[in-house]
Amino acid sequence: MNGYPKVNYIGNKEKIADWIVSLIPQNAETFFDAFSGGASVSYAAKKKGLCVYSNDILRINYFLAKSWIENNNITLTEKDVDTLFQGVPFEGFMYREYANTYYYPDECKTLDLLRHNIESLNDEYKKALAFSLIRRAMIRKMPYSRFTINWSKIQQLRDEKFSYEHYKRSRSYHNKSFKYHVEDNLSAYNNAVFSNRKENKALNLDVFDAIDKVSADVIYMDPPYAGTMNDYHGFYGVLDSYINEEKSRPFDNNFQSKDTISEMFEKLFGKLKKYRYWMLSYNSKAKPAKDELLSIIYKFAKSVEVFEMPYAYKVTGKEKKQKDIEYLFRVKNDNYGK
C-alpha cells in the first residue's frame, strides 16, 4: 500500500485527514463519511482500522470510494488498460453533447470508446478503478481541473504557446492523451488499494437518504462551505453525465447557498440521533459564522468541542500565513439511543 493517490478534489481534506481521524473517539469502530468527495478522510479512517461507510451524491465520487474504500484487493492490469483502449473511437454521447464544449471532438470520441469498453471489464472494482483513472485523465486535461470554464478559455489555456507567454507555464499535460494519463497514474491508483479487514462500503445517495440507511458510531460531515467556491455539480457534474450517458441534474439538497444553509444544518442535525458522535468540518470563511453554527448545534446537543487547525500554505517558496482556520466540531450526542 502506497497511500492515497493523486485525486485532486476541490475542497479535499487530504492534508488534514490524519488530524481529523486522530479526533475520532477511541471507542468508535464504525465511521460514516457522509460527504466523502475524493474520499481522503475515508481513506485515513480505513488506514486507522475503522469500518468505513463513504457516501457522496456524485456518482463519480462513489467510484472513487468504491476503488479504495470498499475495494480490498482488486487492481487493474495492463491487459485491462488495453481492453479499455481497444477499438476505434466513435461519435457517442460525449461527442454529441460536449465536443467543443469541454474537449476537442476527437477527444470526445475517445471518451465514448472508453465508456463503451469499461463494460467489458468483468468486475465492479475494476470498473470503479477505470472510472477513477479516466476521471484523473479528464481532470488533468481540463484547465483549472473543473468543468466551470468556458470553451474559449479552455482553448486559450490549452494553447501551450499562449499559456507560456502569459503565465510562464506551457501546461503541456492538458494536451497529452487520455492513454498517457491513465498509464501515468495506473500504478499509484493500484497501489492505493489495500485491505483493513473490515467490510467497508461506498454509497451514492443524497445525505438525507444515506442517513436513513447507514448506522455507525460516528458520522463525519464535510459539506460544501456556503460562501466559498462550492458548486460541486458545476465542478464535476459532467463526469456523472459521462458515466450515466445522460445529463446530470443539480442537487436538490444544496448546501451551497448562504440564504438557506442555516436551515439545511438544522434539518441535518435534527436527523442524527442514531449516531453516538458527530464530527463536522468547518472553516472560518464559511457562512454562517462559527458561533452561529455552534448555536444551531446547541439546539440538538450539549457536549460540543471545537478543535482548530490553522492552515499554512507555501507561495513561491515562502511560508505565507493564511487567515483561514479549519475547525473540527466534535459532538457527543446526549440523545443517542433515546
Ligand X SMILES: C[S@@+](CC[C@H](N)C(=O)[O-])C[C@H]1O[C@@H](n2cnc3c(N)ncnc32)[C@H](O)[C@@H]1O
Q: How far from 47 is each of 4, 24, 128, 192, 195, CA to CA, in Å?
A: 10, 13, 20, 11, 9
Maximum Cα–Cα distance across the chain: 65
Measured between alpha carbons, how far is 273 from 30 in angstroms, rounded to an integer?
Answer: 16
Q: For ligand X, which residue of 70, 80, 112, 222 counts as binding (CB under 6 A)?
A: 222
Q: Which one of 5, 89, 223, 237 is in contact with ligand X (CB under 6 A)?
A: 223
CA torsion 308-46-124-117 (nearest 10°) is 50
Q: Is 163 in the site for ligand X (CB under 6 A)?
A: no
Whole-angstrom distance, CA of residue 145 vs CA of residue 88: 27
Q: Per CB under 6 A, which of residues 20..39 are in contact with ligand X?
A: 35-38
Nearer to ligand X, 43 or 102 (CB): 43
Is the Cβ–Cβ distance between 97 and 105 less than 8 Å?
no
Smallest distance, Å, CB 327 to ligand X? Answer: 13
Dig out the grid coordinates for 13 from the structure: 481534506
d(CA 168, CA 129): 34
Is 327 among the residues that bind ligand X (CB under 6 A)?
A: no
- Determine phi and psi for 326, rounding to 5 degrees: -90, 130
Residue that is written with C-alpha cell 467543443 in the block: 100
Contact 292, 241 (CB under 8 A): no
* 63 vs 232, beta carbon nearer ligand X: 232
Q: Does 56 bind ligand X (CB under 6 A)?
A: yes
Q: Which residues contact 292 (CB under 8 A, 6 or more apart)?
A: 262
- Nearest residue to 54 (alpha-carbon basis) of 30, 19, 18, 76: 30
**Which listed range, 139-147, 221-229, 292-300, 308-316, lies at the site for ligand X (CB under 6 A)?**
221-229
CA 197 – CA 49 distance, rounded (Å): 8
* Span near ligand X by CB under 6 A; candidates 11-19, 21-29, 171-179, 325-333: 11-19
**Comparison of 56 and 80: residue with beta carbon closer to ligand X:** 56
> Which lies closer to ligand X via its Cβ, residue 17 or residue 331?
17
Q: Cβ closer to ligand X: 36 or 110?
A: 36
Q: How far apart are CA 36 and CA 55, in angstroms?
A: 5
**Rounded least distance, CB 16 to ligand X, Å:** 9
Whichever of 87 and 250 has its CB closer to ligand X, that residue is 250
Closest to ligand X by CB, 12 or 262: 12
Residue identified by cell 434539518 is 267
Q: Determine if 200 is a binding residue for ligand X (CB under 6 A).
A: no
Q: Please state the closest distance from residue 245 (CB atom) to ligand X, in A.
A: 20
Touching ligand X, residues 59-88 (CB under 6 A): 61
Which CB sits closer to ligand X, 40 or 71? 40
Out of 5, 32, 40, 147, name the contact with ligand X by CB under 6 A. 40
Q: Which is nearer to ligand X, 24 or 113 (CB)?
A: 24
Nearest Cα to 202, choosing from 75, 74, 72, 64? 64
# residues near ligand X by CB under 6 A: 23
What the block records as the C-alpha cell of 21 is 481521524
- Chain positions 244 to 283 lying near ligand X, rule: CB under 6 A, are 251, 253, 255
* Interface contacts to ligand X, rule CB under 6 A: 9, 11-13, 35-38, 40-41, 56-58, 61, 206-207, 222-224, 232, 251, 253, 255
